[in-house]
Amino acid sequence: MSSATLNKLIEDFSILPLDDKEYAIEVIKKQLMEAKREAIAKRAREALINLKKGTSKRGTVKKLYKDLESD
């Protein structure tokens, strides 16, 4: 999104009535939560694929940390 578009959006938002602003914020928060959820789910799917391929490391936090230190 260009800065001009974002500025127009902010300008338009500023003239909305309070109730509409609150509603818009709730909609945006829900969309943001869903986008974060989708990103986490995608990363989890990638982790499972890597685990099945054997390309990810497994172990306790202590063992994994020790492995990182040895690199």
pTM: 0.68
Long-range CB pairs of 33-38, under 8 A, 24+ apart, other chains included: none
- pLDDT-derived band at 57, boundaries 50, 70, 90: confident
- pLDDT-derived band at 56, boundaries 50, 70, 90: confident
As a whole number, mean pLDDT of residues 10-20 equals 97
As a whole number, mean pLDDT of residues 25-33 equals 98
Nearest-5° angle of CA 45, CA 47, CA 48?
65
Most trustworthy range by pLDDT among 17-21, 57-61, 66-70: 17-21
Q: Which residue has the tokens 């578009």?
A: 5
Residues in the chain, how many?
71
